[in-house]
Structure 1
Amino acid sequence: MSQPRIIVAGATYLLTRRVLLRHLLLRPDAAITQLITYALAVSAKRYGIHVHALCAMSTHIHVVVTDVEGVLPRFLQLFHRLVALGTKVLRAWEGPVWDHQTTSVVRLVTRAAVVEKIAYTLANPVDAGLVRCAREWPGAKVLVGELGRGVLRAKRPEVYFDPSNPAWPEEATVELTLPAAVADGSADDFRRDVAAELERHEAVARAAVCRRGFRFLGAERACLVSPHERATSFEAPRSLNPTFAVGRGHVDAISDAVSALRAFRAAYRDALGRWRAGLRNAVFPVGTWWMRVFHGAAVSDAALAL
């Protein structure tokens, strides 16, 4: 059984979903870029999700969002479903699009974590040895200068989305906002911090490519690879599934976050045990999603520190 996930209104997350067996189904051509952008805009609007950053790679998607209303699972279900169904049509693909692991959901607890994970998201094509600079990536993405002030916009794709269905507007847009962790500070300072962290990622990646005697693939060639091929670069097995990030050097924040997470899981296990024993008055900790939404379980009013 997987660990219960804390879902609370106002939390900011780095979300990652990977394609089955690292197939290049999300190759960054114009049709897939349009599909991903449109699906994200429609899904975010329906569930009140604030979008901060995005980078769609050929084998996975990174999005940084704030779940304003505490409905993240609903958003993920719709967004990933729309991308998968549209991709199956565009690629004439039979079978599942996404791999069998659950979506990686990492809560960003501090401003430093937000800066680092947004920079990490934007730097992905450079870290992967595809382009020398993040801005050169041809897929769906957000640029540093667009953080907190840009707009993602896409026309309705010609596949899958029925033009007569009012749920699918002719054009979908979503404004890029700043996370609450940085709203009280200077937006320009935040963008400068992200830019500096992004430059660090790019420098490390370029040095690694040079050291190994390789060349960057380039944007044009990245758009020409077969979407039915699989990535061949080495990828270490994913042994960890982090649930939160605090940023480098924030030792106190790590301790607090771990304590809150352990308290939530202990309280959840206790309440679940009581529920299974037939005690329907069992009270689950705040942040409980599945039991509250699908079984009507009671949830405590006491907030967690995470």
Structure 2
Amino acid sequence: MATSEQKQASAARRAKNRARGQARDYPRVRARPIYPGSRYKVNRRCAGQLMMFAPEANPTELNNLIGYCLARAAALYGVQIHASLWMSNHHHTDITDPDANFGAFKQLLHSLIARGRNAQLVRDDSVWSGARPCDTQRPADDHSLVDLVYTLTNPVKDGLVKWARLWPGFTTIGWRFGETRTFKRPDCLFDEEGDMPEELSLTLVRPPVHPELDDDALYDKLMAEVRQRELEIQRSMAAQNRRFMGLTKLARQSWNKAPKTFKKRFTVAPKHAASIRELVLAQLPRDREWEKKYAAARALLLAGKPALFPAGTYWMRRFAGVDVAPQAP
């Protein structure tokens, strides 16, 4: 239960967010631009923070389901997977979206996973939280591996396992760039006589960073940074006299339980992330300018007048057939 101080802090954040919104000189815009070739860290949490993807004693069936659905969504929409790790109640997946299919990719992936996991657990309720997912876009000029390191070391950061490679749930740690793995069609979800392939393959694609390094050298650099981060977390845990949960306790973790930690409310979900703060700050005024153009075009459309939406408009282009300006070269 939240304390009085925590409730007051939540109210203060909500008031600050409301004031920030009222300071805008244009109507609120929930849309965001989606450009071809953009990089994202996809993140989504389970409803009520339930540990729907707890690996339990035998995670083989669960990991195969996630791998198959991830391979299906990536192949259908041409999305490149750089890293993916599924924690007990959320996941982190780093991608590049060459064809601006980000929204369709997420919808299919999360839909397939939700239906498949419900079938495995013999339940029919929501799997994903209704809160807006915290998907962050990375600037094209950020050549850091920090996002992949964060993804792969998430179980270590949360005090579950001492080394990232020990995580029994679905993870791409240990996959080399260019490596392909195959997953079988889950019997729990798809009909044998349906149109889903019996097997699907997923290839781990190197991110567009450090072009001076070949695939093997980039992988070695990533693993070195992962180990450095693991050691930092271990030292921090030891200084706090904390222990890692370990595989034995993880195997007893039930899917219908939730963490008891307090979750802050009314926080601002970031749209961009980078290893250098200035890269994010440079993107914010571009977002504001795009939102102004989008709001102006939306007002014209609602007034029945010709409207040209800015480049990067996704939903209105795909589902409402509006005119969209070409993307600048």
- Superposition TM-score, scaled by structure 1 size: 0.90
Alpha-carbon deviation of 1:183?
4.7
Q: Aligned to 2:135, what secondary structure does the other structure show?
A: strand
In 2, the alpha carbon distance for the partners of 1:162 and 1:2 equals 41
1:282 paired residue among 299, 307, 313: 307
How does 1:149-228 map onto structure 2 within 5 Å?
A: 149-166=178-195, 168-183=196-211, 185-228=213-256
Contact kept, 8 Å, 1:115 with 1:190, in 2: the verdict is no
1:262 aligns with 288
Alpha-carbon deviation of 1:61?
1.0
Q: Does 1:134 align with 2:164?
A: yes
1:242 aligns with 270
Q: Does 1:57 align with 2:82?
A: no
In 2, the alpha carbon distance for the partners of 1:296 and 1:114 equals 37
For residues 6 and 100 of structure 1, do their structure 2 counterparts lie closer, same or farther at Cα, with a shift above 3 Å needed?
A: same
Q: Does 1:297 align with 2:327?
A: no
Bigger mean CA offset, 205-214 vs 261-270: 205-214
Q: Does 1:27 align with 2:54?
A: yes
For the pair shown, the structure with the greater C-alpha radius of gyration is 2
Q: Aligned to 1:55, what secondary structure does the other structure show?
A: strand
In 1, the alpha carbon distance for the partners of 2:328 and 2:233 equals 41
Alpha-carbon deviation of 1:21?
1.1
For residues 2 and 36 of structure 1, do their structure 2 counterparts lie closer, same or farther at Cα, with a shift above 3 Å needed?
A: farther
For residues 150 and 88 of structure 1, do their structure 2 counterparts lie closer, same or farther at Cα, with a shift above 3 Å needed?
A: same
In 2, the alpha carbon distance for the partners of 1:238 and 1:184 equals 42
Contact kept, 8 Å, 1:20 with 1:96, in 2: the verdict is yes
Contact kept, 8 Å, 1:53 with 1:147, in 2: the verdict is no
> Any gaps of 5 or more consecutive residues in structure 1?
none
Letter in 1 for 2:54: R
Alpha-carbon deviation of 1:230?
0.9
In 2, the alpha carbon distance for the partners of 1:207 and 1:85 equals 40
Letter in 2 for 1:164: E
Give per-residue Cα distances to partners, 1:122-160, cap 9 Å, x unaligned.
Answer: 0100001000010110111112x5242222421111201
1:115 aligns with 145
For residues 85 and 211 of structure 1, do their structure 2 counterparts lie closer, same or farther at Cα, with a shift above 3 Å needed?
A: same
In 1, the alpha carbon distance for the partners of 2:231 and 2:271 equals 28
> Any gaps of 5 or more consecutive residues in structure 2?
1-27
Q: Aligned to 2:44, what secondary structure does the other structure show?
A: strand
Give per-residue Cα distances to partners, 1:70-111, cap 9 Å, x unaligned.
Answer: 111111111000100011111122311000112222111146
1:231 aligns with 259
In 2, the alpha carbon distance for the partners of 1:192 and 1:235 equals 36
1:85 aligns with 115
Give per-residue Cα distances to partners, 1:41-78, cap 9 Å, x unaligned.
Answer: 11111111111100000000111111111111111111
2:31 aligns with 4
In 1, the alpha carbon distance for the partners of 2:266 and 2:143 equals 20
1:75 paired residue among 88, 105, 109: 105
Over the aligned positions, Cα root-mean-square deviation in angstroms equals 2.1
Q: Aligned to 1:95, what secondary structure does the other structure show?
A: coil
Letter in 1 for 2:187: E
Q: Aligned to 1:86, what secondary structure does the other structure show?
A: helix
Alpha-carbon deviation of 1:195?
2.7
Alignment: residue pair count: 299
In 2, the alpha carbon distance for the partners of 1:275 and 1:264 equals 16
Q: Does 1:148 align with 2:148?
A: no
For residues 233 and 200 of structure 1, do their structure 2 counterparts lie closer, same or farther at Cα, with a shift above 3 Å needed?
A: farther
Bigger mean CA offset, 229-238 vs 131-140: 229-238
Alpha-carbon deviation of 1:178?
1.3
Q: Does 1:15 align with 2:42?
A: yes
In 2, the alpha carbon distance for the partners of 1:122 and 1:134 equals 6
Identity %: 28
Give per-residue Cα distances to partners, 1:219-271, cap 9 Å, x unaligned.
Answer: 343133111111234544461211112213x52x2343122211111111111
Letter in 2 for 1:247: S
Letter in 1 for 2:188: V
1:103 aligns with 133
- Superposition TM-score, scaled by structure 2 size: 0.84
